[in-house]
Every structure is written in structure tokens, then in C-alpha cells.
Structure 1
Amino acid sequence: MDAAWPDRIGTGDRVRLDGRVYTVGELQGRRLTLVDSSGVTRQMDLVALLRGCHGEVLQDGDAPAGSDELPSGDALGRARWWQRHVVEVLTGLTPDAPPGTQPRPAFDPAHRSLAEREEAKARELTESGMRGTSARTVRRKRQRYQTLGLAGLVDGRAGRREAPGVRLDPRVVDAVREIIHSQPRPGRLSAERVRARLLDRLAAPLADGEVSVPSRSALRRLCAELDGRPPQSATTTLTQVGERVHLYVVPVPALGDQPHGEPRLRVLFALDEASGVLLTAVVGDAHDRTVYGPALLARMCVPADQRTNWITPPSTAPGPAPPYPPVSSPPVIRPRTLVVDHASAPGMGALRAACARSGVRVQYARQAPTHERGRVEHVTATAAGRFAAYLFSPAGQPARAAGWPIERVQELLDTWVEDCWLHTPLPTRAGFPQTPLERYEELTAHTGRVPTPIPPEEFRHLLNSCWRVVGPGGVRLGGHFYDAPALHLMRRLVSPHGGRQPLQVRWDPYDLRQVWLRADEDEWLVVPAAPSRIRPPARPSIPSTRTEKQPSTCGNAAPAMASSPVGAATFVQASGPAAARGVVERTGVPRLPVVQQIHAHEAPDVRLAYHARLPLSVPEVSFAVDRIEDVRLLNQHADGARYGLLLHGPSGTGKTTAMLESWRSCTAPHDRQGDEPTAGTATAGLYVRLPPATSPRLLLVELARSLGVTLRGSPTTAALTDRVATAMADAGTALVLIDEAHHLHSPGWSASTVADVVDYLCDRLPATFVFAGIGDPDYLAARATNAPHRRLVPVHLSDMPLGEDWQQVLSAAEAALRLRAHADGTLPGLADLLHERTGGNAGRLAFLLRSAAVRVIKDGSEKLTAPLLAGLQLPRCDKASTAAG
């Protein structure tokens, strides 16, 4: 839209759409009925009109926003006189021009510029005897009319009002103000009670004749002006949407899993009192204080179906305006008064400041009449109960199985508000529609006005802001990753001061599904959350004819983690006590390839996928897995100190593979034992792959993210540790696997170390902690715990020597091959060559065999040969590498 962004659109307004001028004939909700000069009608969505490049609002009608506050008499008549001339300058026609009228030549927009039309109007008014009507005056009137509507043409002196009590003694005014504002309970003091307290407070000045008592009518007017509300009436009925919007926090009942029946979650509703529409709803932890902020106002002022793309540039593609959207589009409501409960809640100051900038009045609940507040409480309690019922319907089953994570519940809440609440009948007075959407449409049609969303620039400024660099994995914000193909060219941006160039990021703290990144001065990109960071899809399965016991695999860690970035969360069904509570544990573990029986005649793509994950059976990896299982069993039944393990050794020796295999056996013991888990078996496991320079807080954040715990704000290290320990205890965590332990780092300025945090978790939880890293075992153990000799059992994994174990590994690998022309005994016969090429490193051997198998399937030779295995390039062998095996 090129014209000024209006606050509201009403009947009688003129719009230009696809090059033609229309008048708003009627409206119902977001649906506008437009009529042109020839009587042709068309329907248009309010949001599509404002956002599209095909239309613009040219003028306000006879009932603009705020017309109820315009002065009457001569001032209003002169404003309407100016309106007639300004509209002709803008559109070429006066408001009362009959259909088919052609613009006068001097005011035809098709042949005259706006400046020329302003000069022509100034000459016309001057020739008619008006004084002081220069082109500059006409331009100023036109600009104020486009910004404020008819109110912008009113003489400012006509709207001036005296300050409250200006004709009374200042001591009387101050005393009345103190009496009103010192009222401790909600509600309003009657004028008679104020008068009685005033006489008591000013008894001495009144006795001396220094102050005169105001009349009862004057005192009643003064109380109303100081209180900021019209006189109280029990029959007050709001007829305009957005006139009062209430923020109310309600606990969500019947989510269980809490002692003494305490609610787990609470919902903050923004309820429009007139229509019953929920402008927005935000879910939070019942034990945390509700956090308000400017982003809450942004969510209220933009409909839910438009928030994602609201600050991105609208489409500039040529062609006609888009058709009218479905009737069930979310309503557009902009609050005029916001009623809040708590004046000192976190973020309330920022919310009040944002409301002041946007022209929204903030009112406290204690100032609202009791009967009105009771009605709001009844509606919000009904909404909370219906949402709880929705959570226990089939639609809420994933969140229920996951233990009610806040992010998943918030997604369900957004869907419920749009799909259910708007179309759910509510008990209302006779004559009113029965659903919030019907009430909204009825009220807008009755008043002839509909609010507009806030402009995109204002919406952007209300969102949270920060600066981030675009890394290889995208944008990291609050433990979440956001990535899109459009960020590819931004990963290499260099700052003029050196290093990578930070870019501005805006985000909605109540909706973490996307962020907005500033790519240019006027260009913003919508960057969604990386799918692999939320819930990575399972690997494609290989068709099988029977199930075999999975041997320990090695060398597949690098390919597996390449498709599942660090910290990727996978949902795994828990068993035992955790399953009894309906909990699904969140871990950062990718699925390991499962050895399955396939045949050489399978399709090439099936065999390619199989050989790309060809497993190796390595004795040291199997020993490490058994050792982890032994220690876990000891800790499960231990009454005193619990022990952990430290897997150490060079890169590529199978440390990560052993941890992932242990995780699989922990989360799904029936796959290994062939029976169902017993009721006393804790089977939940966590796997965390640490980033470089992991501090105590970062370790806790990684654990919390793996558990699915949403972290908001900046909790202290102690609070964060307690929250993680509680979440692990509630999930029945029995095994914690921490990979890349050499990345653990305790800053010198920090009061706590990584070892302190790990020792606390080990003492509090009946879980087995396993660390894996590269380097000296004593050095690694000292970083992980303050009592390494008492807590950690070292397990060393090394490269395999040339001998019997090496021959067994090659024989097992050859038996797993599904190549049509491969001769048995080839790999054991090339044992010396393969050991010379790989140095006995299981990871390098896995890479060599997989690469060779994939190549021979592609070229059709279907067999591994000595020249092929001797000629393939391998990664450089670096014993000091910091990549986990």
C-alpha cells in the first residue's frame, strides 16, 4: 500500500484496486463488499487489500475511526467542508459525486500529478474568496487527512479540554485523587463515600473557610475524570470489537503427573470482551511467572494466518488482486484498551511502553466492574476446560505421549484457537450470535467498521531482536537452529572488522517455529526451524525376510551424524516406569543401521543403501558395550556410590559406535533379549554430543534440550541444574552418554565447574554416566569429575593389530556383503593390504569397504578386488584428531 496505513476501514471509504476506484458498500468481518461507479460489486479480503500491491485506501468514510470523539457544531462542519475538497484532490471526484461522473480536467489523476492538483485546488479556493489557502496549506490538509482521517481536518482548538478539576481548589483535586487511588480493593468508590472521606480529610481547611466543598454533581464529574472511566452502569454493552481486551491466566486442568493434583501448565488468554474472540493464547509452565512483553501485543494485532509472512515484502507479481480467502479466516482485532491483572509481572513495563507507542490504553483489572470481570473469568475458564479436553483427544496424543512439552502444547493451542474455539457455541444473551466468529462478523457489520492489523514495520519492532552470525548449521538462537536454502550465500559474509558478519534476527518468543532474518535494508527472510533439530525422520528401512541379532557396528558414526546434526532430537518410546506414565524420551541419537537379511537380487538402490551402512563387528566395541551394560546393571541395584565409564582412544576406534549401541540396548532391551521389559526396568537413555568449549551451563542446556525441556529466560546455573535433574528423574533416565568429552571446559571466571555439575547429577540420580573422548584418560577424567578414581572406569579402544581379530573382522564384513560376483575369501586374503592401508583403524576400514562396495554396484562389476581396494583414496590418518570415533 502506498497510502497511509489506516487504523480502521469503514463503509463509505474509497479504495483503488487494479486501477479502479471502489467504495466500501458493506463489510462483515474481514470480508469487504466493494462497489465501483458503474455499480459493479466485488468482494475483497481486508488483509489482501492492505498487503497487496494491487490496491490502496484512498479516503475514510463518514464514520472514521475515532468519529465518536470528534467535536460537533461548526468545527465538524468546517472539517467536512475541507474533506470534500481534499477527496477531490486525491481521487478527482467529490464524495457526493453521482456514479459515472468524470473528473474535472484540473483534478484528473490520469493526467495531472498530485502537486498539480494541489495547486489547482489552492487557486480555486483563493478565487472563491478564501484567504490563506496556498498549495502548501492544501498539501498539509491532505497529509493530515490521509494520516488521521476526518479528525485530521478538525481545528485543534475545538478539541481542547480543560484539565480535571481546573476550576476547583487544587487541594480538593489532590485529596480526591489520593482517595480514589488508595482504594485497596477492586471496584469504584461511590461519589458519596468520596465526599464523606473528603470532608474528613479537609476538616481543618473547611472549618477555617479556606476551601469550599464542591457540589455533588461537580464532585461526581471530577471522580469520573480522575478515574479515567465513564460513570458505572450495570447495563453497559460493548458494540465495537477491540474496545476492551482482557489478559487472563488460567491453569490447564487434568494434565496430571503432579503431586497433590497441581496443574502442570497454564494458559494466558487475550480475550476480546465484545466478541469472545481469542486474539492469542500462550502456554507456559504453571510454576513459572507469566512473562509479558511487546511480542504479546504483536500477536494480538495480527491474525494468526498472517504472522509468519507479515514483515516480508508482499508479492509484486503483475496481475489481478487475489480472490477472496475462505470464510473461516481468523478475525482481525486491534485492542483499544488492554485490561491486565498484575502491574508488576515480568515484562509488564515493556508491554505498557509498547501499548503507549501504539495508542493502546492499559487498564488494571481492579478498575473494571466486578460483573464484567466475572464474565471474563467464566469465559476463560470455559476455554481452558475445552482446551484440556482437546489435549486428551486423538489430536493431542503426540504431545500427551511426549510428556506435555510446552512447544508441542503451544502448537496444539494455536490450532485449537483457530479451528475449534472460533466455531464453538457459547452461552450468550438472546439475539446475539452463538460463536465468537459470528459475533465478530455481526458487530463489525452493525458498526460499519473493522480494525486493521498493525503495519508490518510496527509488528517487526514489537518482536524480540538480537544479532547472530549464519553458521554452517544456520542461525542458532536459544538452543534452536534455523536454516533455509536462502541462507547459503550468507554463511560466508565477512564483517568489516574481521570475522563473520552478524545479521539482525527478530523472533516471537511464544512461537519458536521460525525467525525473521534481515538480509538487506528492506528485505527480511522467514527462516524456519531446521527439521532435523526438531524431529529427524527415521532412516529408510531395508526390506528383510527375517530378523537377526544386530552385531556391534563400527565406522558408521561419521556417516550417521552427517545426516543428523549435533543435538538432533529423536523421539523414542520408553518402557517400564516411564512407559507407565506415557513418557517419550527425547534423545540426540540417530538410528543405527540394523543388519537385515537381503539378497543379491534386490534392486540396486536397496543394495546401495545397505552397503553405504555396511556394519563391522569389532571385538573391542563389543567389549565396551558389554562393560557399559555391566556397570549399568550394578548401578541399578547399588545402594551406595555409583560408577561411570570413560571410553578413550584414537579417532575411528569405535567409541561413538559403542555408545550408540549401548543407547539402543538401553532404550529397547526387548530387541536384544527377545522378551518384554519388566516393570522394574528403567530403559530411558540420553545421548549428547558436545560442541567445542562446553561450559557447565552449555552442558546443562544440551541435556535439557535432549530431554525436551523448554528453557526461557536466563535461569541461574543452580536453578538450571535442579531443573535438569528433576526432568531426568521424572523421565526415569538410566543411562547418560556424553560424547566428545574432550570439549568439556570450565571457565576460570565461573564459580562452578563441569566436574561439580556432573558429581551433583551422579549423586542425585540413579543413572550411569558414560564419557567418550580423545586424549590422556587422566586428563579427560579430571575434566568430568572431581573423584575420577572413585567414579570412572576407563575402557581403552585402540587400532586392531594384524592377527586373528583382524581376520575375524574381515570375514564378518565379507559375509555381510550382498554383491553378485564377489568371491568368498577375498577380503581375508587381502588382510595385509587392508591393514597397511587402514593401520588397523575400524573407521578407515569401514569407509574403504563401503566406498568400494558402492562403486562396484554402480559400475556393474559386483566384486571387490585388490586393485580397487589399493587405489581408493582414504581420509588422512591423524592420531591427534579431535573428532570422536
Structure 2
Amino acid sequence: MTVSRPRMLRTGDEIRLRGSLYTVTSVTGTGVRLADIVGMETTMPLTEVLTGRDLEWVSSPRGPAPLPPAGLLDGLPESAVKQALWWEQHLIELLTGVAPDTPPESAPKPEYDPRRHSLRQRELAKLTELQAAGHSVSFPTIKRLRSAYEKQGLWGLVDRRLARPAGPTGRVDERIVAATVQAIAEETNRSTGTVTRLRRRVTQILAAQHGTSAPDLPSPATFYRLVTRLSRGKHTFGSAKTRRSQAKAPQGPFGSVSAVRPGEWVQIDSTPIDVRVVLDNGMVDRAELTWMADLGTRGIPAAVLRPTTKAADAAVLLARALTPEPMRPGWADAVRLSRSVLPHRRLTALDERLEHAACRPVIVPENIVCDNGKAYISQTFRTACRAMGINFQPTHEGSPWEKGVVERSFDSLGTLFAQYVAGYVGRSVEHRGENADQDAVWSIVELQALLDEWIVTVWHNRPHDGLRHPLTPDKALTPNEQYAALVEVAGYVPVPLSADDYVELLPVAWRAITPSGIKLNRRTYDDKKGALNDYRRAHSGVTAKKGLWEVHYDPYDVTRIWVRNHHHGGWITVPWKHLRSSPAPFGELAWQHARSILRQRGQDKATEAEIAQAAAQLLDRAEQGPEQPPRTAKRDRRVAGRTRATNSPSGPRPEPAPKDEDVGEAPDVAAAGNSPDEPLAKVIPLPVFDARKEARKWRF
């Protein structure tokens, strides 16, 4: 490898012109004085010399040598590089008369002065010097190295046997190499084995293909090195899951999709979260997280936790993405939409609900990319996408890299959020702590509330490595900053989903309206104001459903349901009969109180310190678990988590209850009887059961 540079005619150069050898004695602006081998001088025009077709440079003692390939030199043994540098010093002295380490004003050595001695004489002088110093060097060697140095520079002095790249298979028989490649390919869908098993399989392949003429396998050490080289990057002896995924990857480079506006490309996926929670049935297990990732802003439009993801959950996730995220009691004022970098004035002018929303932007997906999971390719989810005008784009089978943004975001969730939550069990068994499941004190509803707060507080305000401008790569933007930038460039202004459209996307159940209300998922819903009085025990008019009524419910909000009025149209909002909080959490009265507090705090812009403090407090609360009475044992904390009421909805409310709505009352059993001033009730003893006396009352 050489780097060519323009040649310059200098004093002392030896050239071949018109079949004769000349030495350049002087160069003027228009002419060149040349001396032949016998010393006869002649003058020729400079243009005639330089444009001569038979001009050949024999040596250029002061001309610059080609640049050395530094990268190739780094791959050579240190001794070979030192030997080449040693020869370079002697050859520079031979060609120029001055050693490279001498001062610039130094005169050439007499025996190496190009003006006094020819190239051959200088080569013989260098041979004499090296032999006198004890080096075993021949004249052809000096001549060969001098010519190589003038053509290739330092690289021409390197022993090419050391620079020759070794083949990946060395000297192993090609038949053995082919059989090994075949055996490695067969390991793709098998359980992970060892090199010993692979060696046995190679022997079988060679015997089947070549019979008695099959070559013998090399030694185990050589075979191990061969397998290491041939299986590089294929995870043949590593993770079986990674091996299958790598085998399905395309041979060429990965393509890329650019998003120029929010929602242009949105990816959705599900994965078990590495936190054990208390489910609604009291069991302790890992919940399944389903969330969306916007390619343009790297934001999270919505995220939900469920025991298992179903088609209805995916549709609800879509509805939550299209609905503003309300501020909730206890959230830091710094995460309010009006204090963020988002264009809140423009958005609030379109929807008044955004006035009291959190700084999670509403992103309307244009294209949704998902895998071939049953929840996503179901008719329910596809119908929801079609109703919202969303293009549904499933990936190819076994191609997780086609939605790499959302896949990578799951890893970030584990390191930024999950590992700080009580009940964290690690990403695998080998990363799990001792008795990690005993710390599972959060219910799935409470963990959903923590997750929503973390997404608003941390994720959307944290610089993302995928949001770096090519002209300013050292500065990473946050998802909210990128959203604001894309809105200004693309003119994207989302219109949030209306209340009726939100209800339409919720899961459907068909129930009867009884005198006691509507029973759904072991909960009773009733409206004491009489909204259901005209329809109790009534036929809905839907004969195909045997007169049952269409009920829509939010799996993440147990406080109310919506019943379609088949007789007069519209929706009837029915609250949970035994909801203990009044008014309902995040309802209109709660908003009134929150607004009064905000007016006292002021509406200054959020600072990074406020957001950082809110994020730290959130992780502290998640790690400590729910507040418990003093001296509460770990087992009692788990029981409290199982029995905790799920009356704190994590999803948005498209249709809040009226201010004076009576949502029902339930006695607080825990509080009753705790006061020492309350009188004890009269104890009425039960009579003893007498079987013989009871038998005499029977009539046969």
C-alpha cells in the first residue's frame, strides 16, 4: 500500500533519459544541468526533461518517501517495526548524506555526499560501514531495500511474511472447513451445546459425505480455534435466543426510517417488567408492560401494566396515547404542561383539557409498527387502528430489529426505573436477589401510577442519545424538546381524542341492569341518582345479546363504567358502588383544589433542579414501597398490598362525574372499633345445636 505524491526534480537526482544515466547537478528556472557517468556535463531545457516520455527516476535522494500505512504497522510485531525503522535511518543517510537525527544545518558526510559520489558508490560505502559494525549484510540487500524504500517508504522495509494476513481457516482441509460450517448452521435451532458435541457432528458429516476417504480432524486445540473463527458473531455456544435472532438477520446493512414529525412512526411492544407486584387476585407475580415509542421524538405516548396483554389492552393503550395525561395530586408542579418546553399555548387553544395536563405530549400515530403477537394482529386492535385512521404495519416473523427503538427502550426502563422499585427481581434468575419476591408490596394499580409519574417526570425530560443533531452531536435533546422542535418545523398540531371516542375504544362487556346495579369483574356499579332506574330489568333491544346492555370499561380505572343507552342514545356513566373516596380521585373537585394550590405557587417555568428533585423523590418512594403503620412486618406489608383498594385510576377520565354525585359509601371497617370511647355492642349468645331435638321436628 503506497501513497503517491508529485515528483520534483532536485539536485542530486539520478535519472535515465534517452537511454543514458544522468545525475542532476543544478536546476534553474528554465534549464537543467546533467552529468553522465563519466562526468561530461550537458544542459537541457527543463520542459524537455520533464515531458520526456522515456524519463525515469533512478533515485531521488531528497525526494519525500511515500507515507507509511500506520494502521498496518500497528498490526506487526514490535521487533519487525524496530528493524524497519533502523533500516530507514541508514537509507536516508545513504540517499541524502545526512542522518535523520542530525541538525538541519549539518553538512553531508563526505562518503555519502550526492554531489561527490554516485548512488552505487554511496551504497558500497554503507555496505562497508555496516559490515565493519558487525552486521551481516550483502550488497544486493542494500540495493533492494533502497529501491523498496524509494517506492513504498517505510512499508517497503517490512518483512512481508509478517504482514501477510492469515486465512480464517489456516491450513485446515477445506472438506473439514465445509463440514464445520454446516454443523455450525445446524446449531441455530438446537439447544446450546459444547464444542465436543459439534466435533462429533463434524465427524458424522465427513463420514456421510466422503466415506472411507474422509480426512482426519485436527487436534482438539486446532479444531477449537477453527470453530472460534467460523462461529464468530453467531452465538453458537451462547444464548439460544440470540443465536436464532442473529440467524434471521439480513446479510446486508440495516435500513433506517426517518421521522420528520411526531407520530409518523410509532412502535408498540410488550414485555414482562422486572418487578413482582401483587395482582388483583392476591397472587404475587411479574406484570406485563405494554407501551408505545415514538420514533421521531423518542417519547412514550402511553404505557400500561396488565397481568397478561390482551387485544382489548392494546386498544386501550391506543386510546390513552390519544388522550391528555392529567396532573395528579402529589405530582411535582415542574412537570405541568404549562411549565414545560412544549407549545402549551397552541395546544391549549385546541383542547381546554390540556390547561391542567402534565407535560406528556399527545401524539396521534400515523403508522404503528408491531410484531405478530396475538394482541396486536387481533381484529380488535386492527379495527381500532382503522377507526382512528392509523396505518397498521406488522413486522416480519422473528424480526425484532424492525422495531428496535421500542425494544431498546425496555432495557432503559430496567436501568432507569425498575431497579429502584421495591420488588425488583432482575432481568434473569442469575441476577435475582435472595427472597426478592418478599419485597413485592406494590399493587399493579399503584405501580401503574408510579410508572405514569416516572414517564412524565423523568423520561420526557431526560436527554436521549437518539436525539442528536448531526451539526451538534455533543448536545442531546429531551423527547419534549424534540417534540417542540418538530412541531415548529412540520407544523404538527395533534387533536386529542374526544370523550366519546375514548369510550368507544374501551373493552366491551354485555351485562344486565338489575335492581342492585351492574356487576362487572366482581364489582357492583350503580347510580343512586336514578340514571338507571328506567332500564333496570329492561330489555336493551339487542336481540342477538339476549337483551343485555353494552358496557364499556377501562381496565386501568375501576372507578366507573359507561353503559350505552340503546333506547335514547349516548352514554350513561355509572360509578363503582363501593368507591370509598368522595369525590373520585382526579375528578373535577380535585382539579378545583389543585388549581387553587397552583395559583399560590405561581406559574414560573420549571427548572432542571425541580425536575431532578421530583425524579429523585419518585424513585425514593418506589424503592421504599407504600406507606405502612409503624412496626409492620414484611409479611403484613404483603397482605396490605393484596387488600389495598384499587380506587386510584391511572388512565385519563374522558367524562368526569358531577361535583355533587353520590358515588356511594362504605364503612371503614379498619377504623371502626379503634376508638376507646365507643361503647361495646351487646353480646347475644347463640343457642347450642341439639341434633336429637332437631330431628324430632322433622316430618316424613
TM-score, normalization by structure 2:
0.39
- The higher radius of gyration belongs to 2
TM-score, normalization by structure 1:
0.31
